[in-house]
Structure 1
Amino acid sequence: MGAFKEAGSGKGAVWHRALSVGVRLLALALICVLLARHLDPALHAGFNPGLVWRNAFPLFLIALLLYGFFGRIVLTAVVSAALIALVYKINAIKVRNLHSPLTPDDAALSHQVAGDIGFFAHYTGYHVVALVLAPVLLIVAAVVLWRRETRLFKPHRVTRVVCALLAVLGLYALMQGYRPWREWYASNAMTGYQQWNPIFSAQSKGFTAMFVRMCQDRQVSVPPPDKSVVATFVSHHAQDIAQREERQPPQVLPDIVIVQSEAFFDPGVLKSVDYGQFDPNFERLAATGITGSLTTPTYGGGTIRTEFETLTGYPMMAFPAVQYPYFGLAHRWMPTIPRRLQALGYTTALFHPYESDFWNRDETMPALGFQRMYFEDAFKDASRAGLFVSDHSLFDAVLAYLDDLHSSPSYTMVITMENHGPWNRDPGQLANLLKTNPLPAGLSEEGTEQMTYYASHLINGDAALADFATKLLARKRWTIFLFYGDHLPALDAAYQDLGFDDNRAAYQEHTRYMMLSNRPFDSHQRRQLNLSAYDLPGLLFDVAGLPEDGYLALASTIRWASMHDAIANADGYRDVQFNAARLEVTCGHKLNLAENCPP
């Protein structure tokens, strides 16, 4: 339309400028609506105006902020579209690999992504050079547009400041959940939204609407506990709880070794695959101990969610607004398993052959009670299987450590890395392990690639497990060994090719666990138990005969009560446990069940 002089006088010029700005903002709003409709699968089925505007409005506020900053409509439209498309692409990658959308807690991981770009590049399908080059090209394009668009109409500085200020205030009020935004994104306005199930909410209500709602929910990250639910259960089971609290520890305390095996599960849950086909040693060992399926609070990744449950006994679903417990939820005061065992005279140690600051473990693990920690630096000379330290080398290091301990009982947690994803890489020589145990028929090229890598490392790790368990349980000291998988691997193509025996989705499937001991189990101890990861601490203390108190005694009583009550009151028991966990976290110290939450 040619150059326009803002210095024009009269009401006509003012109205012309206002109309021009209004048209451009309307164009930005339309672009955001079209982007949301195009990029979000949740908005593809039919046209729901309520969902569309709830997903498009936050995008418009971002575009409005950029318009106030740039003062150029074309540049704003291009940069806004690029940034929005990038966020949706990253969200799609996370959903594909972890079955979880982007959440506000992901911001805490931004420095880890930047520092480990090569590691995360494997999950994107792009070379690391492409990931670095893309933002550079966007910046170059933005500079060109900035220079070329200077002759087109630009709003007055006051208008730009107003646009930017409105955008900032709008985004802040929206994410904080101020009225009326909280009502517009409330559950009754987004019928079917599930706070505890972000992936379902994103797939049904839209990614952006889900993200806004999670930001609003974070302002009260721990739901208020219902003390009456806990008090009622405590009053009905006071004797059982008292017995656990008064239990005297054995004269000789057992060594306790926990192995959290990366992405371990038995592919026998897949059609055309037999149980133990790729992990025969696990199946053989499990038959001699306590075993069953294990429900974990994550899929494809998010290891620390399962890790946190097994260290504290707190169910992650009790804190639906918390995605990554090592960023904000884990605290030094928590009566974790390592801290409880320290009080009994245990030495606590952690082995994890990867970077100490990954998942914030270098700060969190000491706070949760680990006295000694061995991260990647301690495994510089260790052999690797693929990209990571092999389970064989890791287990040898643990055995050497235990041999050096002579008197005090030890609690040792081992977090493996060998079979860490992504699983679309060449397993190298390990693929030879499949010659005597071929993959099932019916796999696509992508499914074969995933299963080849995963199964090769699973077989290799299973052999390492057999050697480790044999040597560990041959020790003279009483030793209890707990082994479990933290989550299913994201072998999406293989799962789609084969399907599961129970026809459920991959994220609904369970991993496995086993608890072994070189002393006989109590004759009353059930040997087949299907548990959740947060049940493992209580089972461990039962098998070892150690005293429990506070939340742990309550959680173990809930586990026993629910087992004897079958499925009749499963939801009720879960409600008690969730509220008990919230109550202890809200208190900020160990529960005193006699007083619920003393000052």
Structure 2
Amino acid sequence: MNPVKTFLKKHLSRDEVFLSILLLVTPLTAFYLMQFAYSGGLPWEYSLNVLLANYLCIGVVHFTLCAVTNYIVVCSILTHILCCIWGIANHYVSLFRGTPILPWDFTALGTAAAVADSYQFSLNIPMAISILLIAAMIFLLRKKLKTGRFRPSKNRLRLRVTYLCAILLCAYPVLQPNALGYLGIETDVWDQSKSYSQDGALAVFLRNTQFMSVEEPKDSSEENLNRIVSGVTDHTPAVSTDTRPNIVAIMNESWADFEDFGNLSLSESVTDYIDSLDNCIQGHSYTSVFGAGTSASEFEFLTGNSMAFLPSGSIPYQQYVLEPTASLASLLKENGYRTLAIHPGERTSWQRNQAYPLLGFDQFKCVEDMDVPLTEEHGYVSDQSSFNQIIYEFEHKSPEERLFLFNVTIQNHGSYTVENYPAEVTLTDEPGKYPMAEQYLTLANKSDEAFQLLVDYFSHQDEPIIILMFGDHQPSVEQEFLDKAYGVTQDNMTMEQYMDKYKTPFLIWANYDLPDDQIPTSSLNFLGQYLLSYAGIEASTYENYLTDFQQKLPAMTFVGYVDANGKAYSHLETNDYTSMIEDYRTFAYDNLFGGQTRHAQYYQAP
């Protein structure tokens, strides 16, 4: 007789053989179910390395459950359910914002819940099949739900040791995610969805945890920082410092300029009024996020720091702005401005209520605090209401007071699937083919109309005012529409074309004369320097450093950077700009993480 069969017959009953197989195979089948629910992935699409890595990650949960309860059947069903839920959740998050669930997202559950009602959830075929498979599994194993455990044995110690060994074996890559790299599990910071699909939604998630700590510059010493500062030029503002205008910065939710690519034919332009403005400086700036991640764009604009120096998908307001941090608000406050932030959403979204005071804002108004009648567009407070609040604040301040107002709009927020919302702007060659895009374009057109009312009002005011409006990121709409707008599919993009996914418009308008300047390219972390210069405000040493930096690299984002000739580069390459970027990293690190040793004088008003 076969010695293996003899051993099994002597030491294990038929039920225990079944339970042993179920115990060992569950992490594998649960992985297949997770990937199928997430992206429709099929078993033969994954390499042995990917299978092993995800087996270990799922196994540590499964074997722990089994060790605690010893109910193998129940634990197997529960493991499959958890993996299915994880796959489905990542699918929806990836669909709505362009990236799946990242480790830092668990600090933003409140923000996610606040906007969840605006999205439509529907099961696709892989999800429905996954749920049916779990139902079938429960049905087939229903008789073993109560009895599906290893029988009490005189040698319980052997069973416990077996469970413990399995847990320890699986736990190592979970506790040390870098070890997953030895199995070929890598994370693509530019295409997380693809990484989750190819290498496993759980293994890549754990791999991302290695980026939760911020990389310290190679040389963050005081001597090195002084060397960097010694080369900074003092820049004279572009207008007279006697002007001292009121300053309004508007970060317009999902404001993009798809018409700029020249590949769309629309029933009407969504920037008619803005394009007609006189005394207006217009251009495009690059962002570090696509489809979502508004607070990252706020952080870059207000602080001048770049997301390029922070982990993929991180949320600075919740992770790093934990003590007073230098920003445009703090600088203008030192210049005698009252600083006010307005966001017509929930107070705790992205923990703005905690971050704004640390950034130097005297006051923060959310939707509950707004003083004007509120109207909505597709379920969000309209831009017209946001801009009316700006006017209200101006009318209720004293003439002697100078105001810096930072307004984050919310009208154009995704998703763009509200039923019966009229599409007033359509594609003339393919009307109705891209309903999400047409709903978005309709909203963008309403932003243009609302901005006209704002400019008309301030055009007739005697007090000087300057207004900067910029987009925080492009919207997440149909990929086919984006391919059409860009004129190229993502798989065939050059680095310059890939950077264009992160390009949004900006404009600077004032009711006093502005220089006849052109700013063809920038990025959000540099826009503040232009605003200060055209407002006649003396910059800090750090702001002057950023002005110097952008003369060679006018755009710098998490995705990459662009030189003065318009050539785009990835952060993965080493070139003549590498040492210059490392200096920027050093300065930004001192600004954000300097703590008690931070060189505060470099970030203060002169």
Contact (CA 8 Å) 2:340, 2:406: kept in 1 or not?
yes
Q: Does 1:323 align with 2:321?
A: no
| Residues 550, 58 of structure 1: alpha-carbon distance in 2 compared, 3 angstrom cutoff | farther
Question: CA–CA distance in 1 between the matches of 2:17 and 2:547?
Answer: 67
Give the drift of 1:318: 0.8
Partner residue in 2 for 1:512? 505
The answer to whether residue 333 in structure 2 is matched with residue 342 in structure 1 is yes
User: Quick check: 499-508 or 11-20, which moved more?
Assistant: 11-20
Separation in 1 of the partners of 2:28 and 2:600?
57
- Secondary structure in 2 matching 1:34: helix
Residues 405, 382 of structure 1: CA spacing in aligned structure 2 closer, same or farther, 3 A cutoff? same
Q: Is the 8 A contact 2:239 2:534 kept in 1?
A: no
Change in CA separation of 1:299 and 1:339 when aligned onto 2, cut-off 3 Å: same
User: What is the letter of the counterpart of residue 378 of structure 2?
Assistant: G
Partners in 1 of 2:238 and 2:450 — Cα distance? 36
Residue pairs, 1:45-444, within 5 angstroms: 46-113=45-112, 116=114, 119-126=115-122, 149-154=145-150, 156=152, 173-177=172-176, 182=178, 184-186=179-181, 190=184, 193-194=187-188, 198-199=192-193, 201-218=195-212, 221-227=213-219, 235=227, 238-239=230-231, 241-244=232-235, 250-268=241-259, 269=261, 271-273=263-265, 277-285=269-277, 288-321=279-312, 323-379=314-370, 381-406=373-398, 407-426=400-419, 428=421, 431=423, 434=424, 438-442=426-430
SS in 1 for 2:583: helix
Matched, 1:582 2:589: yes
Residue aligning to 1:536: 527
Identity of aligned residues (%): 18
- State the match for 1:477 in structure 2: 463
Tell me the CA shift for residue 144 of structure 1: 12
| CA apart distance, 1:64 | 1.9
Secondary structure in structure 2 of the residue aligned to 1:397? helix
Q: Aligned ranges for residues 491-570 of structure 1 at < 5 Å? A: 491-492=477-478, 495=481, 498-501=484-487, 504=490, 508-522=501-515, 526-563=517-554, 566=565, 569=576
Match of 2:440 in 1: 454
Q: For residue 454 of structure 1, report the CA deviation from its aligned partner.
A: 1.5
Q: 1:94-120, CA deviations, whole angstroms, 9 ceiling, x for partnerless residues? A: 21221112111111123444x54xx41
Segment drifting more, 13-22 vs 501-510: 13-22
CA distance in 2, matches of 1:13, 1:502: 63
Aligned partner letter, 1:420: H
Distance 2:390 2:217 in 1: 40
**CA shift at 1:196, angstroms?**
6.7
In 2, are the aligned partners of 1:67 and 1:160 still within 8 Å (CA)? no
Question: Conserved in 1, the CA contact under 8 Å of 2:220 and 2:586?
Answer: no
Q: Which amino acid aligns with 1:63?
A: H
Offset at residue 149 of structure 1 (A): 1.7
CA distance 1:353–1:36, shift in 2 (3 Å):
closer
- 2:28 corresponding residue in structure 1: 30
Kindly provide the amino acid, as one letter, of the partner of residue 581 in structure 1: A
In 2, Cα distance between equivalents of 1:473 and 1:572: 45
- Consecutive unaligned residues of structure 1, counting only runs of 5 or more, are 1-9
Q: In 2, are the aligned partners of 1:67 and 1:76 still within 8 Å (CA)?
A: yes
Q: Is the 8 A contact 1:234 1:554 kept in 2?
A: no
Paired with 1:333 and 1:542, the residues of 2 have a C-alpha distance of: 24
Check conservation: 1:43, 1:51, Cα contact below 8 A: no
In structure 2, relative to structure 1, the CA distance for the partners of 1:190 and 1:533 (3 Å cut) is: farther
CA 1:199 to 1:151, structure 2 compared with 1: closer, same or farther past 3 Å?
A: closer
Once residues 415 and 244 of structure 2 are traced to their aligned partners in structure 1, the CA distance between those partners, rounded to angstroms, is 40
Q: TM-score scaled to structure 1, two decimals? A: 0.81
CA separation of 1:296 and 1:185: change in aligned 2, threshold 3 A: same
TM-superposed CA distance for 1:319, in Å, is 0.4
Residue 475 of structure 2 corresponds to which residue in structure 1? 489
Distance 1:470 1:284 in 2: 13
Counterparts of 2:585 and 2:199, CA distance in 1? 26
Deviations 1:454-505 (A, max 9, x none): 2222222211111102222432222221101111111125515734235557
Deviation for aligned residue 1:371: 1.2
- For residues 277-311 of structure 1, the C-alpha deviation after alignment (integer angstroms, 9 at most, x for no partner) is 122112223x6422222211111111111111111
Matched residue count? 558
> How much has 1:249 moved relative to structure 2?
8.7
**AA of the residue aligned to 2:22:** R
Over residues 154-203 of structure 1, what are the superposed CA-to-partner deviations in whole Å (9 max), with x where a residue is unaligned? 355867866776677677654442xxx53x223x7538644576445435
Mapped to 1, the partners of 2:357 and 2:142 lie a distance apart of: 50
For residues 233 and 153 of structure 1, do their structure 2 counterparts lie closer, same or farther at Cα, with a shift above 3 Å needed? closer
| 1:29/1:456 CA distance change after superposition, 3 Å | closer
Aligned residue type for 1:400:
Y
Residues 1:267 and 1:438: Cα distance change in structure 2 (over 3 Å): same
- State the 1:259 CA deviation: 0.7
Q: Is the 2:257–2:504 Cα contact (8 Å) retained in structure 1?
A: yes
For 1:487-544, what per-residue CA distance to the aligned partner results, in whole angstroms no more than 9, with x for missing partners?
1111125515734235557882411111122233346xx4123111111122222222
Whole-Å separation in 2 of the counterparts to 1:162 and 1:295: 55
Deviations 1:302-342 (A, max 9, x none): 11111111111111121024522221111332111111111
Specify the SS of the correspondent of 1:226: coil
Describe the SS at the equivalent of 1:519: coil
Deviation at 1:587, TM superposition (A): 1.6
Q: Find 2:450's aligned residue among 464, 486, 491.
A: 464
State how far apart, in whole Å, the 1-side matches of 2:172 and 2:596 are: 33
Question: Root-mean-square deviation (CA), in Å?
Answer: 4.1
CA distance in 2, matches of 1:439, 1:353: 30
Q: Deviations over 1:10-36 (max 9, x none)?
A: 995489998666433222233234335
Asked if the contact 2:185/2:207 (under 8 Å) is kept, the reply is no
Q: Which runs of 5+ in 2 are unaligned?
A: 1-7, 555-562, 568-575
Letter in 2 for 1:327: Q
Q: Is the 8 A contact 1:443 1:494 kept in 2?
A: no
Q: CA deviation at 1:46?
A: 4.5
Q: Deviations over 1:383-411 (max 9, x none)?
A: 22231222112211211111222222111
Q: CA deviation at 1:255?
A: 1.1
For 1:469, what is the secondary structure of its paired residue? helix
Q: Is the 8 A contact 1:175 1:212 kept in 2?
A: yes
Contact 1:262 1:485 in 2 (8 A): yes
Provide closer, same or farther for how the CA distance between residues 387 and 60 of structure 1 changes in structure 2, counting only shifts above 3 A. same
Query: How has the CA–CA distance of structure 1 residues 489 and 248 changed in structure 2, closer, same or farther, with 3 Å as cutoff?
Result: closer
Please give the alpha-carbon distance, in whole angstroms, between the structure 1 residues aligned to 2:308 and 2:322: 18
Please tell me the residue identity of whatever aligns with 2:381: V
Inter-partner Cα distance in structure 1 for 2:302 and 2:289: 16
Work out whether residues 350 and 374 of structure 1, in 8 Å CA contact, stay in contact via their aligned partners in 2: yes
Q: Look up the SS of the partner of 1:227 in the other structure.
A: coil
Q: 1:465 to 1:325 in 2, by over 3 A?
A: same
For 1:185, give the aligned amino acid. Answer: L
Q: CA deviation at 1:72?
A: 2.6
